[in-house]
Amino acid sequence: MRIALASALLCCLAARAGAQGVPVSFEEPQPVAVTGFAVGTVDYDHAARTNDFVAGKIAVALFKPVGDVYFFGQLTTALEDGEPATEIDNLIVSWTPHNATRWSLAFGRFDAPIGFERDDEPLNLIPTNSFNFAFARPVKLTGLITRYTASPRLQLAGGITNGWDVTVDNNRDKTGLVRADWLIHDGITLGVAGMYGPEEDGTDAHQRSLFSSDLTIDAGRFVVGAEVNLGNQRDDPENESWLWGAVTGFYRLARTLGIAARYDIFDDPDGIRTGTAQTLSSFTVGPMWFWRRGQEGIFANIEHTSFHLPQVAVRAAVRFDHSTQDFFPNSDGGLQTSNTRAIIEVLYLF
């Protein structure tokens, strides 16, 4: 009896919806996908004579597609000066018209589409970021970006943002961004980007420009990522500039074992980015053990490569830093020109 009543009710609903011209579907709506990652580290700093166990970061991300639109948001809690702080790390609303799928329009807070390194640890091959990541270019942008797939091998992008690494604009003007990605050959991708706009607090003067180029080579067991950044800022009475370059390499030794290395150099002759006229350099090398492929999501692999993000990874590295000026804090409360660090990083994706 109950089955008959339920069937009759469904037929009535379908007939009513059909009369109103509304399509009827009994399919389940697409659920919200929940993903994230956690990071823990062991860090030894030779100059400061410190060693720490750090439960450093946890991130939770939500992904929801709705027709031509998808929503992606990520909340990240990380230690800052020894205290936990939570921020909106990514918040993206993206629209791809179903009748113009070569175009997409996104609004929100997102990783700056520049270079090989990324903000989230799972998207990198080495623990710790380069001097380039800290000083030479922006990490996060907030604003509007549109992308156009001109061909299977060429993608163009342009955007308007608040500026370098700011959530709320610190002046009246905006910063412009353009980028092109060219798949030169299978496994070889060249990216070129440019940015221009004011970045100083409370003034639209001192315009800053950035030219950036990155090259990614994916040869299966061997991955190379290189980038160069040339920046310039108008300051009276003359312009000030900086130049940075880095190369990261990864070689898969076995199914779950690899080794990675990175060399980077940052030339800041006017001290505009580091506060000291100097040249910084670093060399980092260490093994990576990884197990099981991570859950599919908006971030599934290292960008422009076929290296899938593992669910569990343990990365160890030794980093050698050097500066032409005293720059690295030591245990005596002063500064020195060189430092050595040892890091073990544990990553878990869920």
The secondary structure of 142-192 as a DSSP string is EEEEEEEEEETTEEEEEEEES-TT-SS-SSSS-EEEEEEEEEEETTEEEEE
Report the pLDDT value the prediction gives residue 343, as an integer from 0 to 100: 97
Report the pLDDT value the prediction gives residue 31, as an integer from 0 to 100: 84
What CATH number should be reported for the domain whose range is 30-349?
Answer: 2.40.160.10
Report the pLDDT value the prediction gives residue 79, as an integer from 0 to 100: 84
Low-confidence residues in the chain, pLDDT < 70: 1-30, 236-237, 296-298
Which H or E run contains 10? helix 2-19
For the chain, domain boundaries: 30-349
Report the pLDDT value the prediction gives residue 317, as an integer from 0 to 100: 98
Report the pLDDT value the prediction gives residue 3, as an integer from 0 to 100: 38
**Do the beta carbons of residue 185 and residue 201 sit within 8 Å?**
no
| Coil, strand or helix at 128 | coil
Report the pLDDT value the prediction gives residue 316, as an integer from 0 to 100: 97
Report the pLDDT value the prediction gives residue 28, as an integer from 0 to 100: 53
Report the pLDDT value the prediction gives residue 283, as an integer from 0 to 100: 98
Which H or E run contains 225? strand 222-235
Token pair of 125 as six digits: 């091959």
Report the pLDDT value the prediction gives residue 100, as an integer from 0 to 100: 94
Rg (C-alpha) for the chain, rounded Å, is: 24
| Coil, strand or helix at 15 | helix
What is the DSSP annotation of 35-62?
Answer: EEEEEEEEEEETTTTEEEEEEEEEEEEE
The count of C-alpha atoms lying within 13 angstroms of the C-alpha of 124, restricted to the half-sphere facing its C-beta, is 21
Distance, in Å, from the CA atom of 297 to the CA atom of 62, rounded to the nearest integer, reads 10
Report the pLDDT value the prediction gives residue 298, as an integer from 0 to 100: 61
Q: How many CB atoms lie within 10 A of CB 111?
A: 20
Report the pLDDT value the prediction gives residue 300, as an integer from 0 to 100: 83
154-173 tens-digit pLDDT: 999 999 999 999 989 999 99
